[in-house]
Chains A and B, each alone.
Chain A
Amino acid sequence: GDSVTQMEGPVTLSEEAFLTINCTYTATGYPSLFWYVQYPGEGLQLLLKATKADDKGSNKGFEATYRKETTSFHLEKGSVQVSDSAVYFCALSDPGGSYIPTFGRGTSLIVHP
């Protein structure tokens, strides 16, 4: 079945540092890939998405590129802020396979001033 693996946290950075959160996936079809963010005390919200190979999703300074050859969708940001402290979830949906989305376990990011 489909699966998503993301790096375990917490990831602790100083403000303005470069961020990478790794995400790899397995899927039988041609999935769409997503990053969601969960701020403390809130539900998950979509951060960015990519629907086909080589697409780059971007939002709020975050980027991720859909790499079919390495089955990866790593999240990056050039300069993190304290307000980026949250839990980040990588996920996939495979319209050609199971319609149930598959989520990674989440990676906690803590940014210090």
Chain B
Amino acid sequence: NAGVTQTPKFQVLKTGQSMTLQCAQDMNHEYMSWYRQDPGMGLRLIHYSVGAGITDQGEVPNGYNVSRSTTEDFPLRLLSAAPSQTSVYFCASSYIGQEQYFGPGTRLTVT
């Protein structure tokens, strides 16, 4: 099993650009989620999904969109990048109520 994969590993964007962060898992997990991690802020939940076609907002959803057309994939879209979105982004998956499996992260800088 590859586990949870994320691409790209690093990305630099200019303010106003859009992009998609990719996340995929091969463990048939129902639950998938996106977090951002900033110094001193811990993990903050952006969006989550409990199955294909079902998504919901987390703690900090503004400026981000998600979709879940398959069990395996859960991409995160930045609509119009802002410097405040400079962060490390983690995707995670799990069976509901069980331990989370995290991807290696995407380090995003918005200039």
A residues engaging B (CB < 8 A)? 32, 34, 36, 41-46, 49, 89, 91, 93-95, 99-101, 103-106
Contact = CB atoms under 8 A, between A and B. Distances in A.
Contacts, number: 53
A99 B43 CA distance: 16
Interface string B91-104: 01010111111111
A49 B99 contact: yes
Nearest to B41: A105
Interface residues of B, number: 23
A89 B103 contact: no
Nearest to A93: B97
B96 A99 contact: yes
Given A43-B105, A99-B50, A36 B100 contact: yes
Contacts of B103: 43
A46 B43 contact: no
Contacts of B110: none
25 contacts: A32-B97, A32-B99, A34-B99, A34-B100, A36-B102, A42-B104, A42-B105, A43-B103, A43-B104, A44-B90, A44-B100, A45-B102, A46-B99, A46-B100, A46-B101, A91-B100, A93-B97, A93-B98, A99-B50, A100-B33, A100-B58, A101-B94, A104-B42, A105-B41, A106-B42
